[in-house]
Structure 1
Amino acid sequence: MAKVAKIPIIDIAADGEEAQLQVAKELVEAAVEHGFIYIKNTGRDIHTEAVEGAFNLSKKLFNAPLEEKQACSIQKNNRGWSAMHYETLDPKNQRVGDFKEAFNFGEFKDGKPQQPIPPTIEPDLDQIRAFSDLCYDMCLKINTLLGIGLEINPPSFFTTAHLRENGASGTILRLLHYPPLTSISTAESSDVRAGAHSDYGSITMLFRLKGQAGLEILTQDNKTWAPVPVCPPGTENDPSPPILVNIGDLLSYWTNGLLRSTVHRVVFPPAGTSAIEGETGTEPRYSIAYFCHPVGTSPLTAVPSERVKAFRPKDASSSLEGNPHTERKVLTADEHLFSR
């Protein structure tokens, strides 16, 4: 049986400058060592009712008539509905495309989505926008804490690059639905629901439902996959599972590889067994990901942090070409995204 991933759990509800500094340091160390972090006690920022409501809307959307979803098929701007097998995240190792469907919401403008929306969920747009806003605010908070933890002056360095008032970004709120293996006649147990990949942006926030297995991360030996519990030890009785936060490729690149962008995937759990007590793959799996990106025109200039400047990746062949610490060329956030 695979060993469960060891990911730090950080209580984000810090009051006072000293407590905030401690949280910031813990976030940075987790981002450096693991690339994944659980954050808990987020109720003042993202309350349980908001998360539950978002999952209810997700189920409502994916149960909408097929023709409604097809009319909102995903476009080049990465917004809209993607059908089963549309995406193949790990083409070198996948027999077929991912066993999932998804719906991507881009940024709202003047409270309205800038994309086609299935009629089934049109009455719920205010709720979707409100949940997206909560995620956005939390990402600003995390970016600020990372700035504090890296002793950046000013600590708002990352946060400023993400402010909506400064322009559009590639930020996406993604609803995901993964059918169980038993409901797909064409699936094999060796197939994956989402192929191995790392995320493109700065940070990702992932919301999951209790009891639904599947997520795994690639450990630092680059060979072993470790299941990621929805509720790690000590959080089983929390009102909702802790939010899983991971560093994306852009923020790893921006920090010269200091902050780790970890490869992960979603699998079909083996029938009749579970690496994590209380989690199974017998039911449909739903998750919600908030992919946070800086404003597209933001230049990824050298981070004013002595720790970032002093860091040198162990792997000299790592994909840091064009990094502001290694050559003069400075990419914008959009240029980095399009290159990926």
Structure 2
Amino acid sequence: MAGTATIPIIDISAEGADQIQVAKELVDAAVEYGFVYVRNAGRDISTEQIENAFGLSRTLFASPLEDKQRCKIEKNNQGWSGMHTETLDPKTQRVGDFKEGFNFGTFKDGKATQPIPRSIEPHQAQLAGFREACHALCQKLLLLFGIGLQVDPPTFFTSAHSPAQPSGSILRFLYYPPPSATPTAEPADVRAGAHSDYGSVTLLFRLRGQAGLEILEPAGTWAPVPVTPPGTEGDVAPPILVNIGDLLSYWTNGLLRSTVHRVSFSSTPTPGESSTDPRYSIVYFCHPADATPLAPVPSARVAAAIDGNVHAGAGADKKEMTAAEHLKMRLSETYLQMYAEGKK
């Protein structure tokens, strides 16, 4: 195991910050690491919203099994997935992931547009507000990427991610049982298999003290990603971890890095974090509108990456597809059983 991952920390909402400089730092982090910590301090998404979302996550996963099964995940990527349903690294995993998940699609007038457990039905407006806040933060990041990449126009990414258009954007709650509750796990097993994310930008919210996330470093070693990196210990809440997804990397011909990561059982967790307790996390996967064509973005820096073949092979001989086609391709690799059943 390598040492703790070194990931830049950027405050994108600091008062008086130079937007062009912040955009440059954000793009540099995305090119070099594919991950960046964003200091939140309650400015973009309130601490209360985050705490309430984690409270609802605990309530949801504590719901009766039959109530969760009633909301079983479908090919629209919405609903509940049980233990071992998802296999993020099918080439190496013995069994599916040791986790449960619940994917929320869109809300309309503060109401879910899909079946949800009865235990959280009274809190739909709260969930809708949190999802909207996540998307707004992603739009802020996407504008900064447009500025930092010198895209013409800089609103290219934000226009493609309009919340008014159908897309694959998902708010996801995740629950990883403690190792003591997974006696069938073997030493080589992981809680979530090695993977890169499918969309444009991912927001990850974690709770202090809960270990598990690791990134694959260029040397081929796994490095833990602390919930609270040095310098943020006094913040009211841990920074939000942002990472680049495959789609944004594909869209920029590999210039922006989509880094492989996993959730392990963490036999050697980061100091101050535990791997013996349950682990909860909340993720927002931001996707462009389904019909968006994934042609290289109009950016001189991306064009230079194509000429220079940055991150060799990232975009070589690739077929142009839409955002919806890209997502379907990735989901069919992850939910093997669900898609196999559809072929019968």
The TM-score range, normalised by the shorter chain, is: over 0.9
Matched, 1:251 2:239: no
CA distance, structure 1, for counterparts of residue 226 and residue 163 of structure 2: 33
- Partner amino acid, structure 2, of 1:170: G
CA distance in structure 2 between the partners assigned to 1:321 and 1:157 by the alignment? 24
- 2:257 paired residue number: 260
Deviation at 1:85, TM superposition (A): 0.3
TM-score (norm 2): 0.92
Partner residue of 2:286 out of 289, 292, 297: 292
Between 113-122 and 27-36, report the one with greater CA deviation.
113-122
2:4 maps to 4
The 3 A distance-change label for structure 1 pair 319 and 197 is: farther
Equivalents in 2 of 1:182, 1:169: separation in Å? 38
* SS of 2:191 mapped into structure 1: strand
Deviations 1:154-202 (A, max 9, x none): 111000000122x200000000000111122211232100000000000
The residue correspondences of 1:60-139 to structure 2 (distance < 5 A) are 60-139=59-138
Q: Note the C-alpha offset of 1:45.
A: 1.3
Structure 2 CA distance for aligned equivalents of residues 321 and 121 of structure 1: 46
Structure 1 letter corresponding to 2:55: N
The letter of the residue matching 2:243 is N
Equivalences for residues 322-337 of structure 1 within 5 A: 322=318, 330-337=320-327
Matched, 1:306 2:300: yes
Distance 2:28 2:312 in 1: 22
1:169–1:295 contact (8 Å) kept in structure 2: yes
Q: Which runs of 5+ in 2 are unaligned?
A: 331-344
Matches of 2:323 and 2:213, distance apart in 1: 28
Q: State the match for 1:46 in structure 2.
A: 45
Q: Of residues 199, 206, 229 in structure 1, which corresponds to 2:197?
A: 199
Mapping of residues 146-185 of structure 1, within 5 Å = 146-165=145-164, 167-185=165-183
Equivalent position SS for 2:18 = helix
CA shift at 1:336, angstroms? Answer: 1.9
Q: Alignment length, in residue pairs?
A: 328
Partner of 2:273: 279
Partner in structure 1 of residue 13 of structure 2: 13
2:112, 2:241 → 1: CA distance?
A: 26
Maintained 8 Å contact 1:14/1:20: no
**Once superposed, which parts of structure 1, at least 4 consecutive aligned residues long, lie more than 4 Å away?**
none
Please give the secondary structure, in 2, of the residue aligned with 1:297: coil
* Residue of structure 1 in register with 2:207 after alignment: 209
For the residues of structure 1 that align with 2:280 and 2:42, how far apart are their CA atoms? 21
Per the alignment, do residues 172 and 19 of structure 1 end up closer, same or farther by CA in structure 2, a change over 3 Å counting? same
Compute the TM-score of the two structures, normalised by the length of structure 1: 0.93
Query: Aligned partners of 2:290, 2:282: CA distance in 1, in Å?
Result: 23
Counterpart-to-counterpart distance in 1, 2:242 and 2:68: 29
> Distance between the aligned counterparts of 2:295 and 2:310, measured in 1?
22
Letter in 1 for 2:245: G
- Residue of structure 1 in register with 2:328 after alignment: 338
Map of 1:188 onto structure 2: 186
Instruction: Judge conservation of contact 2:83–2:100 (CA < 8 Å) in 1.
Output: yes
Deviation at 1:319, TM superposition (A): 5.3
* Shift, 1:51, TM fit: 0.4
Q: How does 1:309-320 map to 2 (within 5 A)?
A: 309-311=303-305, 312-314=308-310, 316-318=312-314, 320=316
Distance of 2:75 and 2:288 partners within structure 1 = 19
Pairwise CA distance, 1:310: 0.7
How many Å apart are 1:42 and its aligned residue? 4.6
